[in-house]
Structure formats: structure tokens, C-alpha cells
Amino acid sequence: MFKLIVILLLFGVVGSLFSGLFFLYRDRGTGVRTAQALTLRIGLSILIFALLLVGFRFGWIPGYSQ
């Protein structure tokens, strides 16, 4: 379940990145939609990072030993 959530969030990040590119091209760099799409991408990336930290802390993601 944890892997599925992370993968869906990664797809959201990629989708937001492409929507930002689309809005950049469509609005000719004058609209706010590009900034909103990229802000969403940053928020999703931070959420993924936090989920990975929490998952590692609670043992949902096994660590490795050398």
C-alpha cells in the first residue's frame, strides 16, 4: 500500500511538471497557472520526501546493512 501511494505521488509530480510546461507554452509565460503547477509539484515532492522519511522510521521501508 505504501509503495502504491509513493508511485501515485510520483506520477502526480510528473503530471504537474508537464502541465507547467504546457501552461508555460500556452500562456507565453505571462499567466499564473505555470507558477501554480510548479508550486504543486514542489508540494508533492516535499510530501513524498516526508512519507519516505516516516516510512523508513516506522519500518515500512526496510533499511540495509553493510
The per-residue pLDDT for 3 is 87
Q: Do the domain assignments include residue 63? A: no
pLDDT at 65 over 70: no
Q: How many folded domains does the chain comprise? A: 1
The per-residue pLDDT for 66 is 55
Mean pLDDT of 10-21: 93
* pLDDT tens-digit map of 16-63: 999 988 988 988 877 788 889 899 999 999 999 999 999 988 888 887
Q: Do the domain assignments include residue 7? A: yes
CB 34 within 8 A of CB 42: no
Q: Which domain holds residue 47?
A: 2-57
The per-residue pLDDT for 59 is 85
Helix, coil or strand: residue 29: coil
